[in-house]
């Protein structure tokens, strides 16, 4: 991305959304979060405008289907016939009218019109003005498809999720639970962190954060807290740079706890980068023993090394290797193995904002095969009497229970000890799955 000193939240959001939609971003697997972070770093935005730009980008991606449905209804033009740049501007305008309550109606329209004029032409600006002035500023006034006629279509359009995904959830969980999942996926996730117990306690960290002007509250989960407000970017906090905490969802701490590692043990984290679970395991082990943190993604290994250094988890050893063939690299004898497998991310769609649009139902089968290969490889280096934890951030049965059942059919020396299905909640943790297996 060419560096540009953005000075306006809408201009920055428009730039990022234009980048996200390009095929090159998908090919390079660049996420909206990465592109937004780069743009903000290169901006002169105030903290308030940074927050607005972030909300605009994430909400525009999450609510794309809804926004496009509204644009078609009030423009009378099919989405595919609207010039891509103009479409992004219209999406931002409709988003502000319907969902961003802090933006006045006149500002949502006028700023979008000026964006269209600057980026395209006076004709495009006129079209944007005509369309946006027809859109109600109250989402309840939008004539969405009636729920009683087609519940799947209604939930898909209103909550901006692919219909195939909605259909799966309605069939498995029921209409009410499916809608609850959608609501959680469209809500901004809480910013939560894990105290680095190798360097501080939760009370000590709370005091240090308070001195930095950060408002944080403890959570019920041990060593977890939520950041309610911060005067600066979290990465700029002294307490963050000193490695006193790691930003992590509460659900993401469950796999390490179920692994129950002990000081002095030998642990393998098979899909480790960027290191949240590996460093958590090190804390639970009191930084005594050995943790081999394996990953195939060389780019993410730098993040893993940075986190190891920042948090001071000296027992973590990074290893760039193919996880599906780990038995050819490592010898048996590990006390614990964690396999936090690559997955569809359907439990964390509120964080992986574009994942719902990149995923298709066929991917689940391919992911299942990869997950089984990781289990089959990782189990070979676990010693008798050891524990293996398999986890995903998916809520799809194909990637969770079905994978574990298929694995157990061929691995007769393993037994299922415990499993948990986690569902995303608006003001709580992400969704996912965790299973603990014992080798005997």
Full DSSP string of 86-133: HHHHHHHHHHHHHT-TTS-HHHHHHHHHHHHHHHT-HHHHHHHHHHHT
Q: Which CATH number among 2.30.31.20, 3.40.50.150, 3.40.605.10, 3.40.190.10 corresponds to the domain 252-439? A: 3.40.50.150
CATH fold label, 9-141: N-utilizing Substance Protein B Homolog; Chain A (1.10.940)
Which DSSP category does 176 fall into?
H
Which DSSP category does 410 fall into?
H
Place of tokens 């809408």: 10
- Give buried/exposed letters for 252-281 (b at 16+ CB in 10 A, else e): bbbbbebbebeeebbbbbbbbbbbbbbbbb
- d(C-alpha 411, C-alpha 22), whole Å: 44
Would you put residue 380 in left (φ > 0), alpha (ψ -120 to 50) or beta? alpha
CB 227 within 8 A of CB 237: no
Give the pLDDT of residue 2: 46
Give the pLDDT of residue 42: 85
- d(C-alpha 301, C-alpha 70), whole Å: 42
Q: Which strands, in side-by-side order, build the sheet including 334-340?
A: 316-320, 290-295, 266-269, 334-340, 382-392, 432-439, 414-422
Give the pLDDT of residue 20: 85
Which DSSP category does 24 fall into?
H
Residue 213 CB coordination number (10 Å): 11
- d(C-alpha 410, C-alpha 380), whole Å: 12
- What CATH number belongs to 192-247? 3.30.70.1170
Beta bridge partners of 225: 193, 218
Residues composing the chain? 440
Per-residue tokens: 344: 């569809």
Instruction: Give the angle 282-286-287 at the CA atoms, nearest 5°.
Output: 55
Q: Please list the pLDDT of the chain residue by residue as tens digits (440 residues).
A: 345 567 789 999 999 999 887 766 555 667 888 899 889 988 888 888 999 999 999 999 999 999 999 999 999 999 999 999 999 999 999 999 999 988 899 999 999 999 999 999 999 999 999 999 999 989 999 999 999 999 999 999 999 999 999 999 999 999 999 999 999 999 999 999 999 999 999 999 999 999 999 999 999 988 999 999 999 889 999 999 999 999 999 999 999 999 999 999 999 999 999 999 999 999 999 999 999 999 999 989 999 999 999 999 999 999 999 999 999 999 999 999 999 999 999 999 999 999 999 999 999 999 999 999 999 999 999 999 999 999 999 999 999 999 999 999 999 999 999 999 999 988 889 999 999 999 99
Q: Mark whether 393 is an active-site residue.
A: yes
For residue 248, the Cα-to-chain-centroid distance in whole angstroms is 11
- d(C-alpha 292, C-alpha 126), whole Å: 59
Give the pLDDT of residue 1: 39
Which DSSP category does 190 fall into?
P
CB 364 within 8 A of CB 414: no
CA nearest neighbour of 381 among 335, 438, 312, 430: 335
Per-residue tokens: 395: 């809520």
Q: Is 155 helix (H, G, I), strand (E, B) or coil?
A: helix
Please name the helix (run of DSSP H) or strand (run of DSSP E) that holds residue 339, with its range, or none. Answer: strand 334-340
Which DSSP category does 408 fall into?
H
Judge whether 192-247 and 252-439 match in fold.
no
CA nearest neighbour of 398 among 160, 172, 155, 153: 172
180-183 long-range contacts, Cβ below 8 Å, gap at least 24?
Answer: 180/423, 180/425, 181/395, 181/423, 181/424, 181/431, 182/155, 183/159, 183/426
Q: Is 217 helix (H, G, I), strand (E, B) or coil?
A: strand
Q: Which strands, in side-by-side order, build the sheet including 192-195?
A: 215-218, 224-229, 192-195, 245-247
Domain locations in the chain? 9-141, 151-186, 192-247, 252-439
Q: From residue 36, give the alpha-carbon distance in Å to each of 6, 13, 348.
A: 12, 8, 18
């Amino acid at each position: 991305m060419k560096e540009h000193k953005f000075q306006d939240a809408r201009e920055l959001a428009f730039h990022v959304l234009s980048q996200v939609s390009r095929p090159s971003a998908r090919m390079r697997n660049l996420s909206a979060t990465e592109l937004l972070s780069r743009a903000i770093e290169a901006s002169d935005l105030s903290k308030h405008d940074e927050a607005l730009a972030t909300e605009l980008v994430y909400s525009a991606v999450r609510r794309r289907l809804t926004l496009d449905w509204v644009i078609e209804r009030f423009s009378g033009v099919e989405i595919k016939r609207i010039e891509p740049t103009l479409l992004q501007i219209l999406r931002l305008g409709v988003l502000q009218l319907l969902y961003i309550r802090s933006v006045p109606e006149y500002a949502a329209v006028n700023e979008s019109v000026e964006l269209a004029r600057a980026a395209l032409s006076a004709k495009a600006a006129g079209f944007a003005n005509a369309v946006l002035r027809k859109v109600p500023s109250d989402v309840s006034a939008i004539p969405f498809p009636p729920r009683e006629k087609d519940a799947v279509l209604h939930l898909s359009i209103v909550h901006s999720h692919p219909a195939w995904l909605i259909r799966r959830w309605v069939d498995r969980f029921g209409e009410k639970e499916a809608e609850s999942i959608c609501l959680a996926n469209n809500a901004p996730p809480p910013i939560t962190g894990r105290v680095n117990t190798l360097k501080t306690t939760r009370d000590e960290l709370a005091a240090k954060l308070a001195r930095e002007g950060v408002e944080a509250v403890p959570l019920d989960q041990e060593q977890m807290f939520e950041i309610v407000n911060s005067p600066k970017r979290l990465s700029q906090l002294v307490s963050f740079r000193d490695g006193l905490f790691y930003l992590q969802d509460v659900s993401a701490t469950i796999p390490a706890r179920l692994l129950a590692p002990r000081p002095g043990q030998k642990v393998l984290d098979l899909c480790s980068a960027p290191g949240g679970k590996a460093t958590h395991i090190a804390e639970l082990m009191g930084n005594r023993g050995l943790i081999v943190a394996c990953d195939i993604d060389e780019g993410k290994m730098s993040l893993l090394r940075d986190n190891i250094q920042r948090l001071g988890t000296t027992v973590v050893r990074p290893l760039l290797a193919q996880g599906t063939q780990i038995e050819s690299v490592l010898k048996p004898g590990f006390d614990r193995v964690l396999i936090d497998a690559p997955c569809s991310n359907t439990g964390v769609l509120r964080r992986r904002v574009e994942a719902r649009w990149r995923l298709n139902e066929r991917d689940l089968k391919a992911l299942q095969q990869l997950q089984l290969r990781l289990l089959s490889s990782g189990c070979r280096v676990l010693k008798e009497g050891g524990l293996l934890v398999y986890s995903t951030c998916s809520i799809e049965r194909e990637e969770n229970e079905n994978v574990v059942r298929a694995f157990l059919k061929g691995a007769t020396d393993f037994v299922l000890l415990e499993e948990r299905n986690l569902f995303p909640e608006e003001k709580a943790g992400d969704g996912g799955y965790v299973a603990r297996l014992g080798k005997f």
